[in-house]
Structure 1
């Protein structure tokens, strides 16, 4: 570890908070006036807010008006558009206005007056905007949204955690401690008071060791966590509900539908996320433009794929596609959580270069990153270094090395600055005697760094947004959301050849196996048991297929996509749920019919045509009810492992009270409620009534051992001759349970399945 040097603290250059912002303005549905005004004072970041002095006044104005017409088109979502690529640099010439902010003589005097005080006190001043930037990058794709500056002041975040027993307690003491404190919580400070800002056209990297609060801060700034204290403002105004419509969040994991192509993924997202005032042609043009800008045109028609299961685009392309989805709405502020996580060095650098391009287009970009390589670190404009939920440094990234050198921790030559900073604020975890000594040294060093930062000043540059930003909660109307989700789900199901083939194989093979085992059942006394067995097995087979199919599809494929899209407000939950449900109907109906048809005629069940179709109706109804029950389990279960552990237990209980293993007249009164909750009860009773009503059976020569002369004898033996025992009543109960379970799953989805707050 680098030891503190005795270098004296020297003056740090004050970055002039004036700059030229070359950004777009409001889109057609966000016609806005932006005025830069009332630049705030220099302020000292400390545990107690302090007040500075001096007022800065800059004025700039940008306006935009445009209109779009809405048209419809039946073009394929994967079809390459017959569009000529145009020079994107000139697309928005009429819509972009530079916001030139120049300091007045008075302001220059005020700025210069701050420096001497800092020199006298030895305080280190960090300015607002770095004027020594590289030559401006002119992006092909510029944002039409207004340039926004995000600021936060005295921001804190606390969570309530259960109280844990001391580690030296015995197991019995721990149990008693937990029982005593079961309902007690203790507060933990995740983020201590901190302030900062990010300007349009710049990239802010939030760095720190694990547990420093990086992701928590990112989620708070992105308004994904709201239980905080402190002020968050955009262009000088407090953040409102409209903020999320002008910002975008790219999560760490690239959650995408593997069976769609890159172009289809973006077009479906465009249909869901862009307003109806934008025509189909304009939406397609935007998709193509973004693919061009992010280098996705070469893989536009390639399936996204699923890592570890099916081949698809590369890891870097997956990350760029995730970013492209969020860029469709032309956000003014882009948040990214660990965008280089899981990528090799070359791919990570390529992705970061893309992100920097996006920022240079007029957006404010905020990202978390753990320990970047030096070539990536050099790309950042601003650095926010966190340790123990506190700020260790905030300012221009290129000046962080100088800052730490001045407080006694110079970076060794030929050493990655990012590694150096992380080493400085990371505490040893070793439990050895030497490790404990190092831990104390690390603790002293970290506290020194954090305490020194309290004396550092920040000079933000703020514009004032005069008009409130108003935007619809959802861009597409409900019917558009429903049809797009349904169409996308259909395509995803049809292209999932592995799942489709496995279902087909399973149903055909099992049907043939059952048919061969019970081939052409006769009408003697022994055939009654065989027929009962065939009927109940058909119900079990299709129910298990439906339940575990629901679990696999939602928990393994769709849940992460749903959480990401819900977090981005792409659709209403009702539109998603109904669209998903409709898209699944063909499979739920087709496979029971296929299975039932093979089994029915091979086993020689009741030969009446009407009985055959009722048999299929019962089987399909049972599959629908079971699939709905499976959906309830899927939305409740936190993981596939948990669901597959619970589902067999639940199915076993329901089957035990289904009517085959125990006669309803013998069920204990305190368990009879399970009988009425069991879908197997209604399915099996309907099957028995349909199969045996009006049937006759052969008796042996000795009539004394003839148990079943007619089908009514079988029905009575099963205690299914009650006044309410009727095929159509049983079907009605199955459909009622189908609707109840569907509604229950929907309510759970609405109120409990939400993006996690970190």
Structure 2
């Protein structure tokens, strides 16, 4: 570490030494550069589009570390001491890092609970919330506290203007009182009047002790900053100094002309001589003292509570989720006049649909929020479990409603010839289908964690569901070894088979004296409404997943999986695999 305590101490927040950023296929994002940023300064990172402004910002804060070179934050190596350094860093990327369904107060309150030390009293949290809102001028008259209007703390984030949302994102970061604040193009969505108020509030923050590094492409922003770092095309550092000296340095009349000068990069580089920095004298920040590790249980509690609040506040989406079992259950009841194998199949597939559709967008839609919280202190396991808990609660309600519709419809409308043939046992069926739906929820979460945007996820969802339908043993018989093995990796097969077993087991264990367990789906010589030729058989037998003739020929594996316990075990194994895949996908999104 380049520290020499015998020399005169200099108040530096950031020092970068020879940092370079390279991407695959030899693409250079950032040429070798060194720079120092003083404590309590307000610095603008500028340059033409694609020059590496955001890349440099992410190299300095650890979101996308430099390929080579060293970055020091308050005298500590960013890479070697990241777990310690990261909590002195605030970072607001271009995308909002706040949930639109929550109120401003709830947004800040949950952020405080997840970031501040365990046991921080509510009174202190409220003080911090009021302080950051005041520092960002969000408690003033013009921010929504006029006569007859709601206080901004009571407004939902989605009701705010773009400028207000950006300030709330910054407020989330300021709750932990970071010594350095990184902002990626915060003024882009703002109008000129809002920009003036916004940048003045940032300047005040810098004067109060927070070092601010802001990516911007707006020349007028230079009127508010202390220093400007200007990058040329291909990531070359071409200027670092006072904002009012940049036009003089490039011998032009306006900052706009500086941008046009970047076309002659070789001449620009030749005329730029970086100032010599005292790179040996960094100041250790006393705020970097270690604190107790965050409690996983506390984090899980607040993550789950926040997520539940988000789902409950999203009224339209919640209503659609609750209507799904009613609509699908109603259609099944309308299409089928008897309780057949097709009903069992569609019930199992519906449980899978509930799980996948509920969860497919839940991670990808909040990816900027996840990545920022992960950079700070978010535990991947608590994050996954918090999602699974709330989504499972929703799935449980859906399954209960759906099974109730199927149960009562076919019980009330049971045909005379088979009065005992309807869905049973009720609660065991609910429990099994709930397990299937929870496992399907993990499939949806995996898709949501793997892909980078919602459009890709929703494109893949039907592709994911089709094998569940085709390999369940109902649409077509599983009569080859390869197809049978493929079916082992689908919930459609285990869900349909396990649910069919429940129906058979009920009749086998009950005192009902009947040979009719289930009416065959296609049997021209069997049941007809007007001419009863009663030939009914067990549900599992109709599926034909363990055809004895095919087993004898060695085409199918046979009875190794031919019991309910093995069905349940198979579902649990698939769930565990999905959980691991989610964990791996989220781990790959880590910054350092």
Whether the TM-score (by the shorter chain) exceeds 0.5 is: yes
Tell me the residue number matched to 1:576: 383
Residue equivalent to 1:488: 306
Is it true that 1:159 corresponds to 2:22 in the alignment? yes
2:135 aligned with 1:282: no
CA positional deviation for 1:207: 0.5
Paired with 2:372 and 2:217, the residues of 1 have a C-alpha distance of 22
CA distance in 2, matches of 1:737, 1:393: 56
Q: For 1:562 and 1:292, how far apart are their aligned partners in 2?
A: 26
2:258 equivalent in structure 1: 421
Name 2:515's counterpart in structure 1. 696
Q: For 1:727-757, what per-residue CA distance to the aligned partner results, in whole angstroms no more than 9, with x for missing partners?
A: 44423433343333234323332x22335x9
> Structure 1 661/334 Cα, relative in aligned 2: closer, same or farther at 3 Å?
same
Distance, in Å, in 2 between the alignment partners of 1:294 and 1:713 is 69
Give the 3 Å change call, closer, same or farther, for CA 609–504 of structure 1 in structure 2: closer
CA distance in 2, matches of 1:236, 1:513: 66
- State the alpha-carbon separation in 2 of the partners of residues 460 and 291 from structure 1: 37
Instruction: State the shift of 1:451 in Å.
Output: 0.7
Question: Structure 2: how far apart are the matches of 1:457 and 1:149?
Answer: 17
User: Contact conserved, 1:245 with 1:471, CA < 8 A, in 2?
Assistant: no
The two structures have a TM-score, normalised by structure 1, of 0.66
Q: Is the 8 A contact 1:474 1:571 kept in 2?
A: no
- Residue 350 of structure 2, aligned match among 533, 541, 561: 541
In structure 2, the CA distance between the partners of 1:716 and 1:212, relative to structure 1 (3 Å rule), is closer
Name the residue aligned to 2:147: none
SS of equivalent residue, structure 2 residue 406: helix
Matches of 1:719 and 1:205, distance apart in 2: 69
Cα pair distance change 1:474/1:236, threshold 3 Å:
closer
Quick one: distance in 1 between partners of 2:495 and 2:166? 48
Deviation at 1:472, TM superposition (A): 4.2
Q: 1:314 to 1:636 in 2, by over 3 A?
A: same
Superposed, 1:444-459 pairs within 5 Å as: 446-454=265-273, 456-458=274-276
Matched pairs, number: 540
> CA shift at 1:288, angstroms?
1.7
Following the alignment from structure 2 to structure 1, what is the Cα–Cα distance between the partners of residues 435 and 442? 11
Aligned residue among 658, 666, 682 for 2:494: 682
Counterpart Cα distance in 2 of 1:709 and 1:679: 32
- Give the aligned partner of residue 216 of structure 1: 55
Deviation at 1:36, TM superposition (A): 10
Distance 1:424 1:233 in 2: 32
SS where residue 193 of structure 1 aligns? strand
TM-score (norm 2): 0.83
Which of 241, 245, 253 is the matching residue for 2:95?
A: 253
Please state how far the C-alpha of 1:58 moved relative to its aligned partner. Answer: 6.0
Give a deviation string over 1:385-422, Cα, whole Å, max 9, x none.
11022222111112223323xxxx330xxxxx332322
**Equivalent residues of 1:654, 1:678 under 8 A apart:** yes
Residues 18-45 of structure 1: CA distance to partner in whole angstroms, max 9, x if unpaired? xxxxxxxxxxxxxxxxx99666xxxxxx
| Structure 2 CA distance for partners of 1:661 and 1:252, relative to 1, 3 Å | same
In our comparison, the structure showing a higher alpha carbon Rg is: 1
Pairwise CA RMSD:
3.0
Checking the alignment, whether the CA contact within 8 Å between 2:96 and 2:368 is kept in structure 1 is: no
Greater fraction of residues in helix? 2
Q: Please say if 1:501 is aligned against 2:337.
A: no
The 5 A counterparts of 1:57-68 are: 57=8
Distance 1:228 1:725 in 2: 54
- In the alignment, which residue of structure 1 is the partner of 2:157? 304
Is the contact between residue 39 and residue 211 of structure 2 (CA under 8 Å) also seen in structure 1? yes
Contact preservation (8 Å) 2:184, 2:215:
yes
Could you list the runs of 5+ residues in structure 2 that have no partner in the other structure?
Answer: 140-150, 415-419, 509-513, 528-532, 547-557
1:718 and 2:543 matched: yes
Is 2:559 aligned against 1:559? no
Q: Conserved in 2, the CA contact under 8 Å of 1:255 and 1:560? A: yes
Q: Distance in 2 between matches of 1:555 and 1:188?
A: 27
Bigger shift: residues 266-275 or 597-606: 597-606
**8 Å Cα contact 1:38-1:462 kept in structure 2:** no
SS at match of 1:410: coil
* Conserved 8 A contact 1:596-1:616: yes
Residues 546-574 of structure 1, C-alpha deviation per residue, up to 9 Å, x if partnerless?
21221122223x3332122112x232111
Q: Is the 8 A contact 2:391 2:441 kept in 1?
A: no
Q: Secondary structure at the match of 1:553?
A: coil
Aligned mates of 1:267, 1:397 — CA distance in 2:
38
Shift of 1:467: 8.4
Task: Flag the 1:424–1:38 CA change in 2: closer, same or farther, 3 A.
Answer: farther
For residues 561 and 670 of structure 1, do their structure 2 counterparts lie closer, same or farther at Cα, with a shift above 3 Å needed?
same
> Which residue among 330, 333, 336 is the counterpart of 1:518?
336
1:97-147: CA deviation from partner (whole Å, max 9, x where unpaired):
xxxxxxxxxxxxxxxxxxxxxxxxxxxxxxxxxxxxxxxxxxxxxxxxxx7
CA spacing shift, 1:150–1:58, aligned 2, 3 Å? closer
In structure 2, the partner of 1:735 is: 572
Name the counterpart of 2:143: none
Correspondence for 1:663: 477
Cα distance per residue 1:196-254 (max 9 Å; x no partner): 22222221111100121111111111123334333434555654333222221111111
For residue 363 of structure 2, give the secondary structure of its aligned residue in structure 1.
helix
Q: Is the 8 A contact 1:152 1:197 kept in 2?
A: yes
Change (3 A) 1:316 1:368: same
Give the Cα–Cα distance (whole angstroms) in 1 for the partners of residues 285 and 200 of structure 2: 34
Contact between 1:656 and 1:662, CA under 8 Å: does it hold in 2? yes
Question: Cα distance 1:160–1:270, how it changes in 2: closer, same or farther (>3 A)?
Answer: closer
Alignment equivalent of 2:204, drawn from 357, 369, 383: 357
Give the secondary-structure state (helix, strand or coil) at the position aligned to 1:685: helix
